[in-house]
Amino acid sequence: PVRSYNEVLVTEGKSDVRTVYAVPQFTIPDDKLLVIELFEKDGGRHQTIRVENADLVAARQINELKIK
C-alpha cells in the first residue's frame, strides 16, 4: 500500500477494528480477480474479498477520509 490508516496487527476478542489501505491505481484483465484474504490466528474464521476489474474501474478517488 502507498498509505494506510489505523493499521492494526492484533485485534482483541469481541472488538471492532477498521483499517484502510490505499494502493496505486491499477487494472487487471477481465478474466482475473484480485483476492484479499484475512485469516484469524489460531481460529477457523477467515474472510475473502474478491475484486473484479469492473469494481476497480468503478472506484472513486477519496479526497477526504472520515472514519468514526
Number of folded domains that form the chain: 1
Provide the domain limits for residue 21.
3-58
Query: Residue 63 falls within a domain, yes or no?
Result: no
What is the pLDDT, as a whole number, of residue 36? 93
- Please determine, for residue 67, whether its predicted confidence score (pLDDT) is greater than 70: no
Q: Is 15 contained in some domain?
A: yes
pTM: 0.67
Give the pLDDT band of residue 68 (cuts 50, 70, 90).
low
Dump pLDDT digits (tens) for 6-54: 888 888 888 888 888 888 888 899 999 999 998 888 888 899 999 999 9
* CA dihedral of residues 37, 8, 4, 47 (deg, nearest 10): 20
Helical (H) or strand (E) element with 54: helix 53-58
**Better-predicted residue by pLDDT, 38 or 68:** 38
